[in-house]
Amino acid sequence: MRENYRLVFSQCRRMLGVTEDAQDVSQAVFVKAWQAWEGFEGNEAQRRAWLMRITRNATVDAARKRNLRRMASLDVMLEERTAQVLSSPDFEGDAILARLHAAVSTLPPKQRWVFQARYFDDRTYAELSAETGTSEGGLKASYHHARKKIESILLQEAQTLFH
């Protein structure tokens, strides 16, 4: 259970950026899982796949709601979210990694999910396709666009710094 919680929380943390939001969503996912766990028929791998699926749905929904609540310019969002990540007590990465998380947070939720699953978790398209029911081609397109967008943000940043 601890290992699964860690897995769920990491995904929520990367998808939502804010520790409190990630804790709330992880908690909601686990309460749902806990209540249904006994009635779930399947092996451990199937249970984990199911847990990951409800985590994905919950984080994508939460990210959508968060996007609706907050409309700001890209520059402002990047500054705010980089500062948020850097000031989080549970973040031990450097400023570049914080900027990457901030850039990821500006992506549409589904692209964000595909990007973090591929980039951080190194999951295969086949695995993601089986989990989401989306074609591998569709997932590749999402990842491709997410990567281009992030590259463009980080390049702009570098050009501003070294101009």
Partner 1 sequence: MGQRDDGFRVSDATIEAAIAGVISQPHVRRWPRRLSALYMAAAVALVLGMGAALNEVLKPETCVTFACQLDTLSDEELAGMMDLMEDEASLGLEEEVWPTLY
- 23 part of the interface to partner 1, by CB under 8 A: yes
The least distance separating partner 1 from the CB of residue 69, rounded to whole angstroms, comes to: 15
Binding mask 34-63 for partner 1 (x = CB under 8 A): xxx-xx------------------------
Interface with partner 1 (CB under 8 A), residue from 18, 147, 149, 156:
149
Residues 6+ apart with CB under 8 A from 26: 5, 8, 9, 12, 55
Interface with partner 1 (CB under 8 A), residue from 110, 115, 128, 150:
110
Q: Give the residue with the Cβ less far from partner 1, 142 or 162.
A: 142
Q: Give the residue with the Cβ less far from partner 1, 39 or 163.
A: 39
Interface with partner 1 (CB under 8 A), residue from 42, 70, 75, 137:
137
CB 7 within 8 A of CB 44: no
The least distance separating partner 1 from the CB of residue 130, rounded to whole angstroms, comes to: 15
CB 138 within 8 A of CB 128: no
- 111 part of the interface to partner 1, by CB under 8 A: yes
Q: How far is CA 42 from the centre of its chain?
A: 26
Q: To 10 degrees, the CA torsion angle through 122, 127, 131, 132?
A: 80
Binding residues for partner 1, total number by CB under 8 A: 47
Nearest to 77 by CA among 46, 47, 103, 40: 103
Q: What is the DSSP annotation of 66-90?
A: HHHH----HHHHHHHHHHHHHH-TT
Q: Give the type of residue at 36.
A: A
> Which residues contact partner 1 by CB under 8 A?
1-2, 5-7, 9-10, 13-14, 23, 26-27, 30-31, 34-36, 38-39, 85, 88, 90-94, 97-98, 101, 108-111, 119-123, 134-135, 137-139, 141-142, 145, 149
